[in-house]
Amino acid sequence: MKIITPSKFLIIPLLSLLISCGGGEEKKAGQGADQIQSYPVVELVSQSTSLETDYPATLEGIQNIDIRPKVDGFIEQIYVDEGATVKKGQLLFTINAPQYEQLVRTASASISSAEADVNAAQLQVNKTKPLVEKDIISKYDLDAAQLTLQSRKAALAQARAELANARVNLSYTRITSPVNGVIGSIPFKTGSLVNSSSAQPLTTVSNISRVYAYFSMNEKQLLDFSRHYKGNNLAAQMKNIPAVSLVLSDGTTYAQNGKIESINGLINTNTGSASLRATFSNPIGLLRSGASASVRIPQYLDSVVLIPQKSTIDLQGKKFVYVLGDKNIAKNIEVEIMEIPKGNFYVVTKGLKAGDKIVLEGFQSLKDGAQIKPELTNTDSVFADVKNK
């Protein structure tokens, strides 16, 4: 019987174990190389851009004039309709007030009577004067006649003044437009009794050849706004403010640009804001008083760095990005940005500079300090939206 020693049984398993261990180390090494992941990277450039901020505004014509009666009476006729465009001096209403016609007739009659008195007094003076010169009567009679003439002339002047006043009051029964504009609502109808103390006007005429857009800025916005434009005082700064645009309620942009012409010097203690006024030309009357819109103010920036919003991480109110460093190490750093975005981009004020490379997107599982395989993305394609706006 042949005896087999144990050493022969141990050789083969031992070799297999050694082979398997060596293969495992090679596999782990291969797995380590595969763990370096690829990420899209973009190189930042310095560029010029503009930021636009919209402020809700209320529109008003340069003149909104309440049309009120100056005399008491009944509305005899209405010559315009609501929304009609009128010219200065155009007839709007007539008021039936016969008492003023009577006053004109009475004043006219008084003038005739006063003129007759003046003529009689003049005749008396003419008659008395030669008699005094011939010493037939005393000079006292001439003086009395001349005083009577002066009195009659004064009465005539008063009668003429009363006629003028009566005619003015009568003219108030014809109400005309004081300016070119658009008619507002007309609450009264033909036959309505109106008077000068009525709380409600007959209508309102809005001069909308130019339109004021009133909007507000809070204290911080106003400070940033004033610091951005050069000038020793507010008037000088307003001259350097660029033209502003108007976004209408339907989202379209008004064809005419406007200009900021007034900034209220007081901060409203209730709202913490100041009122501003921009003026827009309105040649075709598209803008109307009482309408709502938004004033869009541009802010031009030179040589700034922009980053896509999708490349940032929000953490406790701060913004972070992954910056590509030496040996392709991704470093998570904080950046500061302007409050106003540029579409889908942020304007960087601190933390990045032109030439830096950042991870563009897909970094949800990326850890700070990890090595990555960068895939450089074309800069023009990333910032194409900025250049097109």
From 3.30.1540.10, 3.30.70.580, 2.40.420.20, 3.40.190.10, which CATH number describes the 38-50+302-388 domain?
2.40.420.20
CATH class of residue range 98-171: mainly alpha
Task: Write down the H helix ranges in the chain.
Answer: 7-34, 98-133, 139-171, 219-228, 234-239, 379-382, 384-388
Q: What tokens were used for 378?
A: 């074309």
Residue 306, strand partner residues: 347
Token look-up 């006063």 returns 114
Residue-by-residue pLDDT tens, the chain, 389 positions: 444 444 444 444 444 444 444 444 444 444 444 578 999 999 999 999 888 889 999 999 998 899 999 989 999 999 999 989 999 999 999 999 888 889 999 989 999 998 998 999 898 888 888 887 877 777 888 888 889 989 999 999 998 999 999 999 899 999 999 999 899 999 999 999 998 888 899 999 999 999 999 999 888 888 877 777 777 777 777 788 889 999 999 999 999 999 999 888 788 888 888 899 999 999 988 998 889 999 999 888 889 999 999 999 999 989 999 999 999 999 999 999 988 888 899 999 999 999 999 999 999 889 999 999 999 999 889 888 776 55
Give the residue from 293, 294, 296, 346 showing the smallest Cα distance to 321.
346
Question: For the chain, what are the domain ranges?
Answer: 38-50+302-388, 54-60+205-301, 69-93+176-200, 98-171
CATH topology for 54-60+205-301 is Elongation Factor Tu (Ef-tu); domain 3 (2.40.30)
* CATH 2.40.50.100 fits domain 69-93+176-200: yes
pTM: 0.64
